[in-house]
Structure 1
Amino acid sequence: MPITLDFSGKLILVTGGGRGIGRAIAAALAEAGADVAITYTSKDATPVAKELSDKYKVRVKAFSCEVTQSEAVDKMVDAVEKAFSKKVDIGVANAGVSLWKDAHDNTDEDFTNIFAVNTFGPFYLARALVRSWLDLPIPVSGEPSQPLEVWGKKGINLNKQILFVSSISGLVAMNPQRQTAYNASKGAVTMLSKWSHLGINVNSVSPGYVSTDMIANPPDETAKAWVGEWEKRTPVGRFASPEEIGHFVAVMLSDKMGGMGFMAGSDVVVDGGYTVF
């Protein structure tokens, strides 16, 4: 019989789901029957949510969230659960920013911000979801916490997932652009996936170059030259489309791939062969 993806009844939260790879992930999951919550920071993603909802006949809602602020992430997860009247089943930490800058030119603010968005934000999301799934209060500073081992002894199997959208920049130093801080932030978020417990399967996906707005409309002449070099260095001879990555993630999260089963603590590279060298 044909293999199909069916996320009916699932609620999936995608940060940065209003554009680029995040939008493609949200679309693929909605197409497969999931209800989807997408977050945005600057540009209101409500029109995107309505478009996906109307097209795929599922519930898609947009939520404003500054992912660098842990309190904002906690409140967003709570707002999502109230809006959909259920807990999130799968969290996709996708929101991220890039920074092309020599390490010695990075200001303290540059370095702090790249980690705040790319590493702290995903951690805040994962932490907020686990607390919600276990019905744990936000701990007060100085109070002892209850180790997860205690919960494991209770025989809990939450059957939940967290996926971190990382990058091959966390595996290899990209070139010709210089982006030490970005590479380090993505290496860190990849390592966040090396954990699975209590029936929470945690994994990461590391895309290579994807034909997003940044590649279609480079910010300057130097970046335009880089685009051609990136394509030349990708063995398959082209960039991925956002839709390719979106559909791959949908498969990866499905029970057909093992997202709810045996795959845990893995980083899956989808890069057109870029890292084979």
Structure 2
Amino acid sequence: MALPLQSRIALVTGGGRGIGRATALALAEAGATVAVLARSVDEVERTVDELRAAGHRAAGASGDVADAAALADALHRLTGQLGNIEVLVNNAGVSWPVGPTATIDPEQFAQAVAVNLVGPLRCIRHVLPGMLEAGWGRIVNVTTGAANPPGMPRAAAYSASKAGLNQLTVNLAAELAGTGVTVTAVDPGPVDTAMQDYMRDQPAEVIGDRVHGMFQRFHAEGRLNHPTQPANLITALAAGEVTGEIVAVGSDLAAELVNTSS
């Protein structure tokens, strides 16, 4: 029986660790050839080596999605090696800067927007023409529940940039209706990753008592999702036909999608 993403070419940004690494592995198990993009050369090489050791076709490149020239160079190299990207997973993201909004450096705020919102747009602009020409493509953006009301106090850059990513998702999905290209987003919930470690390590005087306590409880009570949970949902969306939805791990729709694709 053919695998759901047999011979499809997928790109995962932030693919060197955490959700990105798990997604690269899940897409490969579903039959995809995987391109891994991340800032860390070592992390890219580890993920690509892991994919190849399991018998999968893969390539990697280091690059920062906030650096237009470096990103364009990395994407051209990856598509030159593997071919046009058919599945794009915009996973690269940052949760900083954190602290009272009145004290946040606007330049750091802008840098978070550059990574979390403009970076995905740049990747979309690179891969979308080929998807439209082929009449098939999948774009999956990784978002956060903090993008929804009531947000996350003292994490305005993260919440606002990811809220923008949500709107980019639904707007682009509507724009591309009927083209064969779907656009969705995944809210992974609290996941056991380095980003979660970073937020948990922030002192209460920086992140606030409520948010600090929330992150401590997630860890102490074992309420963190494993990276494979959002990875499996992302893979199901890449293999399916749903578009215009922001799907949360643990939701009824997520369970239906994962069960249908497995």
TM-score w.r.t. length of structure 2 = 0.81
CA contact (8 A) 1:157 1:200 kept: no
**How far apart, CA to CA, are the structure 2 residues paired with 1:210 and 1:65?**
24
Which residues of 2 match residues 73-152 of structure 1 at below 5 A? 73-84=71-82, 86-99=83-96, 100-133=98-131
Aligned to 1:146: none
**SS in structure 2 of the partner of residue 172 of structure 1:** coil
CA contact (8 A) 1:73 1:128 kept: no
1:27 is matched by which residue type in structure 2?
A: L
**How far apart, CA to CA, are the structure 1 residues paired with 2:215 and 2:56?**
37
CA contact (8 A) 2:41 2:61 kept: no
Distance 1:272 1:241, change over 3 A: farther
What is the root-mean-square deviation of aligned Cα atoms in Å?
2.7
Deviation at 1:67, TM superposition (A): 0.5
**How far apart, CA to CA, are the structure 2 residues paired with 1:102 and 1:229?**
17
Deviation at 1:216, TM superposition (A): 5.0
Distance 1:239 1:6, change over 3 A: same
TM-score w.r.t. length of structure 1 = 0.77
Distance 1:271 1:116, change over 3 A: farther
Aligned to 1:238: 223
Matched, 1:250 2:235: yes
Look at both structures and tell me which one has the larger radius of gyration over its CA atoms. Answer: 1
Aligned to 2:190: 209
**How far apart, CA to CA, are the structure 2 residues paired with 1:240 and 1:233?**
9
Matched, 1:219 2:216: no
CA contact (8 A) 2:140 2:237 kept: no
Aligned to 2:158: 182
Deviation at 1:132, TM superposition (A): 4.1
Deviation at 1:43, TM superposition (A): 4.5
Q: Percent identity?
A: 30
Deviation at 1:233, TM superposition (A): 7.4
Deviation at 1:69, TM superposition (A): 2.4
CA contact (8 A) 2:186 2:233 kept: no
**How far apart, CA to CA, are the structure 2 residues paired with 1:249 and 1:75?**
26
Unaligned runs of 5+ in 2: 253-262
**How far apart, CA to CA, are the structure 2 residues paired with 1:183 and 1:205?**
15
**SS in structure 1 of the partner of residue 72 of structure 2:** helix
Distance 1:173 1:53, change over 3 A: farther
> Which of 32, 40, 54 pairs up with 2:30?
32
CA contact (8 A) 2:94 2:195 kept: no
CA contact (8 A) 2:41 2:62 kept: no
Aligned to 1:199: 180
**SS in structure 2 of the partner of residue 92 of structure 1:** strand
Deviation at 1:80, TM superposition (A): 1.3
Cα deviations across residues 80-122 of structure 1 (Å, max 9, x unaligned)? 11111x2111111110000222211111211111100000000
Aligned to 1:139: none
Matched, 1:266 2:245: yes
Between 1:213-222 and 1:4-13, the stretch displaced more is 213-222
Higher helix share: 2
**How far apart, CA to CA, are the structure 2 residues paired with 1:211 and 1:272?**
18
Cα deviations across residues 54-92 of structure 1 (Å, max 9, x unaligned)? 12x1112111112112333333222111111x2111111
